[in-house]
Amino acid sequence: MAETAQALTLAVGDRVVYPNQGVCRVTSVESKEVAGQTLTFVTMKREEDGAVVMVPEAKVRSIGLRKVAGRADVERVFSFLRSDSDKANLDWKQRARTNVERMSQGGLMGLAEVVKGLQVLSELRPLPTKERELYDNARHLLVAELAASLHVAEVDAEDSVDLVLFPPGRERPKRTAEEFRSAAGDEDGMELGEDLLELGGEMDLAPEAEPEEAQAEAEEAVPAPKAKGAAKGKAEKKAPAEKKAAAKKAAPRGEKKPAAKPEKKAAAKPAKKPAAKPAAKKVPAKPAKRK
């Protein structure tokens, strides 16, 4: 957000955030001759796995590269996390679009908004697979950046977030669809055009398929007959809108996920808009194995 709007001067050793990819450290800033032109390239190494990315300096801003969040950003994020629940949009298409923007342009706060928004939504109904993956990606990026910003271990960063989101000694709240409706105000909102397809398959469900998939997830997540009983009990308490979906026959146990995505980073990529692709990127499709 504010960070990307400012000019970004990068030097070796700087820690930056590559949207949807994570925390990187600048390893070199050098000029190179390319087709008779002198271009400056910034080379970065992703901290979690050492994957290398090279970006022309002129593209740094359009990619949304930014410095790791500072103390003030972190404080803002924690007061947001502590604030009264942020109700996600019940229209999954609008929610998807907002979340893609938050992930790529929202800075640290955008990541926190995705995490909290989807958490609160999950207290109403189970998240469909794609959103569950998005939740984990956002959480992963949020935790990594917080850890980098605060100079603490990732587990400490994650626990500090969850101490706020899941307070000790408290049960998970149960939400009603009404809470979300009143928070959203104008429910119908605007109609979305075909540009949704730009999400690169991140949200490739038919609109009416979403509640069904959520239901399928709920069924799928049930391990043993005993737990199944418990889950059923919960399903009984669902809001009217949900009941309709629950009444529909659950889709057959979705054969795992699309080609069991090989890497979390690969999973983060589809959400990225084509325009954000770096001109020269040495990141292997599968980032190198850690350590």
Partner 1 sequence: MIRLVTLDAYDPKVIDRLCKVLYTAFGVGCEHAGDMSLPAGQHEPFDAQELLKALPSPRAYADDKILYLTSRKLKPRSVISGEVPCSGFANQNGPRALVSSAGVKDPEAGLKQIARHAMHQLGHTWELHHCLDPRCAMYPPWTLPYDGGDTFFDTFCRDKSEQRIRLAKS
Interacting residues with partner 1 (CB under 8 A): 48, 74, 78, 118-119, 122, 126-127, 129, 132-133, 135-136, 139-140, 143, 150, 152-164, 166-172, 217, 220-221, 223-224, 226-227, 230-231, 256-257, 260-264, 289-290
CB of residue 232 to partner 1, shortest distance in Å: 13
Nearer to partner 1 among residue 189 and residue 258 (C-beta): 258
CB of residue 78 to partner 1, shortest distance in Å: 6
Nearer to partner 1 among residue 161 and residue 199 (C-beta): 161
CB of residue 159 to partner 1, shortest distance in Å: 5
CB of residue 155 to partner 1, shortest distance in Å: 6
CB of residue 227 to partner 1, shortest distance in Å: 6
CB of residue 86 to partner 1, shortest distance in Å: 15
Nearer to partner 1 among residue 197 and residue 221 (C-beta): 221
**Calpha distance 220→77 (Å, rounded):** 33
Nearer to partner 1 among residue 158 and residue 179 (C-beta): 158
3-state secondary structure the chain: CHHHHCCCCCCCCCEEEECCCEEEEEEEEEEEEECCEEEEEEEEEECCCCCEEEEEHHHHHHHCCEECCCHHHHHHHHHHHHCCCCCCCCCHHHHHHHHHHHHHHCHHHHHHHHHHHHHHHHCCCCCCHHHHHHHHHHHHHHHHHHHHHHCCCHHHHHHHHHHHHCCCCCCCCCCCHHHHHHHHCCCCCCCCCHHHHHHCCCCCCCCCHHHHHHHHHHHHCCCCHHHHHHHHHHHHCCCHHHHHHHHCCCCCCCCCCHHHCCCHHHHHHHHCCHHHCCCECCCCCCCCCCC
Nearer to partner 1 among residue 89 and residue 119 (C-beta): 119
**C-alpha dist (Å) from residue 221 to 137, 174, 215, 284:** 20, 18, 10, 33
Nearer to partner 1 among residue 4 and residue 149 (C-beta): 149
Provide the sign of the torsion angle of the four alpha carbons 177, 183, 186, 189, taken in this order.
Answer: negative
Nearer to partner 1 among residue 47 and residue 198 (C-beta): 47
CB of residue 284 to partner 1, shortest distance in Å: 14
Nearer to partner 1 among residue 55 and residue 269 (C-beta): 269
CB of residue 91 to partner 1, shortest distance in Å: 21
**Calpha distance 269→53 (Å, rounded):** 14
